[in-house]
Amino acid sequence: MRLTAKFLGLEAGGKSVVVLNKEDAEELGVPTLGRVKVRSNGKEVTAIINTTTALIDVGVIGLYDEVRRSLDIKEGDVLDVEIAPSPTSVYFIRNKLRGRKLTYEEILEIIKDTVKGNLSEIEIAAFVTALHSFGLDLDEATSLSIAMVETGNTLKLGRHPILDKHSIGGVPGDKTTLLVVPIIAACGLTIPKSSSRAITSAAGTADRAEVLMPVSLNLEEMGEVVEKTNGCIIWGGSLYLAPADDIFVRIEHPLSIDPLLLPSIMSKKKAVGAELLVVDIPCGRGTKVKTIGEADLLAKDFIELGRRLDIKVQCAVTYGEQPIGYAVGPALEAREALSTLMGKAVVPDLVDKATDIAGILLNMSGRRNGKELAVEVLKSGRAERKLREVIEAQGGDPEVNPSDIRVGDRRFTARSDRDGYVLWIDNSSLVEVARLAGAPKDKGAGVLLHKKIGDRVKEGEPLFTVYAEKSVKLQRALDALEERMFLRTGDRMEMLIHEVKERPVTKKAFMLER
């Protein structure tokens, strides 16, 4: 069939999509979301069909931008359009939908087509949902990890060993990486850290680091920083490591499911060449992993998957029932991390966690007494100096001081209405308040705790301060706070947690951080 090109002026998120009149689609014998081959001047694209009854006339084909660019044509050109079969990967997805285990070849096909934009959102959603429902075993997780590495960029450094750390996420205020990277690099070891931005949290490591230095470097620049300083903190999204994962995340997020946790993390580590890896598994109420038993099972899988990918993995199961340190939100956290490195702030849990993780890495790479070494490197100021080197190499200001970091000037401080103790902090409600205040988009927005769990508090004492850059967002955050306070003070013997008066809607907190 020959159809006249009309440009829609819209992007389809990387997918090849065309719009046909329903009449033409029926004539071709292709259903909505079926596929056609579109040809012009020897170029050819396979595209997914959307149909319409009104806005594209019979005889016309509406082109999204991706198809327009691949074909290199003018509006009004006449194109050859014919029915195309579904890519083979669709049959493999259907196999998973029937509960079958997938082979490496099948998974590679699916991942390739995902990256090339050959699969519709429905097909990818079904794949992700089937992985979630039927589960994936370690063979499949291995295949997925390798296939995701194969279809993206890889960092090649002429150094060994390559160290790395990763947190599965879920705890607010976790700025551990900002301390671990300089500690390790200061010890002369190589740690090319790629990190992510917040998805459902108030700040990702890339968001925090960006307050101190540029993080959107490409792979070549990343390599140069590491050659110069032994370490780096770069936003992974600019590196095109395991790009299939970025597509899966867009589907997983609205569904609040995360079946690709293991391959997602491990593929990104493999892509930077990691050989020794510590995976931090925050544990407890208000995190992804509620119990230590669960955490140990997950750790076992990380270690075994690492073995199959030639990465030596150790896991750190850490306490996650409240934020790490006091600050939540990109600028507040960057300030807290920098102050801690400079010895200007006392943040015991942050220092303990960072030196624990750095210590494990140091032990894995053959140093003795890793934890003590890490503490010493931190206390001596060598870690601070290393961070400033990294900041400079990435293009930031190496002289930056905590007081230079701008935080939101619209503020509200909550005070205790009684004497007592901080009984609990609800991570997800705290994050919601920080996000409503503007984090992570407004870097200066967030929450600064003045008290943490177990702290004694007097009536009138400040509990925490909400920071925002815009009054309207501060108000939004305070409205949410009104409804659901994230920090509870009281006597240690109060037994009633809350009353349930009608059938509640189970809005479960979901953390999708990698």
Residue 120 or 167: the one with the smaller Cβ distance to a copy of itself is 120
| CB burial of residue 7 (10 Å; 0-12, 13-18, 19+) | middle
Min dist CB 62 to a copy of itself, Å, is 8
Residue 49 or 463: the one with the smaller Cβ distance to a copy of itself is 49
> What is the chain's Cα-based Rg?
25
Which residues are part of the catalytic machinery?
A: 258
Tell me which residue of 132, 47, 38, 43 sits closest to 86, measured CA to CA: 47
User: How far is 438 from 407, CA to CA, in rounded Å?
Assistant: 12
**What is the dihedral angle through the alpha carbons of 49, 54, 57, 61, rounded to the nearest 10 degrees?**
-20
- The 10 Å CB-count burial string (b at 16+, else e) for 435-461 is bbbbbbebbbbbbbbbbbeeeebeeee
Min dist CB 171 to a copy of itself, Å, is 21
SS3 content of the chain, % helix, strand, coil (to 5): 40, 20, 40
Residue 130 or 362: the one with the smaller Cβ distance to a copy of itself is 130
Interface residues toward a copy of itself, by CB under 8 A: 8-11, 13, 19, 26-27, 29, 31-34, 50, 52-55, 62, 65, 86, 88, 90-91, 93-95, 97, 99, 120-123, 125-126, 128-130, 132-134, 199, 250-251, 253-257, 435-436, 438, 441, 505-508
Beta bridge partners of 464: 414, 449
Tell me which residue of 312, 232, 203, 304 sits closest to 263, measured CA to CA: 304
Min dist CB 102 to a copy of itself, Å, is 12
Residue 370 or 438: the one with the smaller Cβ distance to a copy of itself is 438
Is the peptide bond prior to 259 cis by the omega test (within 30 degrees of 0)?
no
Min dist CB 301 to a copy of itself, Å, is 20
User: How far is 446 from 468, CA to CA, in rounded Å?
Assistant: 7
Beta bridge partners of 39: 44, 80
Residue 53 or 403: the one with the smaller Cβ distance to a copy of itself is 53
The upper half-sphere exposure of residue 48, i.e. CA atoms within 13 Å in the direction of its Cβ, equals 21
Min dist CB 442 to a copy of itself, Å, is 9
Token pair, residue 276, equals 């020794």
Residue 287 or 340: the one with the smaller Cβ distance to a copy of itself is 287
Beta bridge partners of 499: none
Token pair, residue 162, equals 């390559």
Tell me which residue of 446, 485, 486, 449 sits closest to 464, measured CA to CA: 449
Min dist CB 248 to a copy of itself, Å, is 12
Min dist CB 340 to a copy of itself, Å, is 29
Residue 288 or 435: the one with the smaller Cβ distance to a copy of itself is 435
User: How far is 514 from 198, CA to CA, in rounded Å?
Assistant: 9
Min dist CB 260 to a copy of itself, Å, is 14
C-alpha 309 chain-centroid distance:
21
Residue 54 or 500: the one with the smaller Cβ distance to a copy of itself is 54
Q: What is the DSSP string of 335-350?
A: HHHHHHHTT-S--HHH
Min dist CB 255 to a copy of itself, Å, is 5
Residue 86 or 145: the one with the smaller Cβ distance to a copy of itself is 86
Token pair, residue 70, equals 């691949």
Residue 78 or 456: the one with the smaller Cβ distance to a copy of itself is 78
C-alpha 44 chain-centroid distance:
35
Report the sign of the C-alpha dihedral through residues 340, 343, 347, 353, in that order. positive
Strands 60-63 and 2-7: parallel
Min dist CB 31 to a copy of itself, Å, is 6
Contacting residues for 59 by C-beta, under 8 A, at least 6 apart: 3, 4, 21, 24
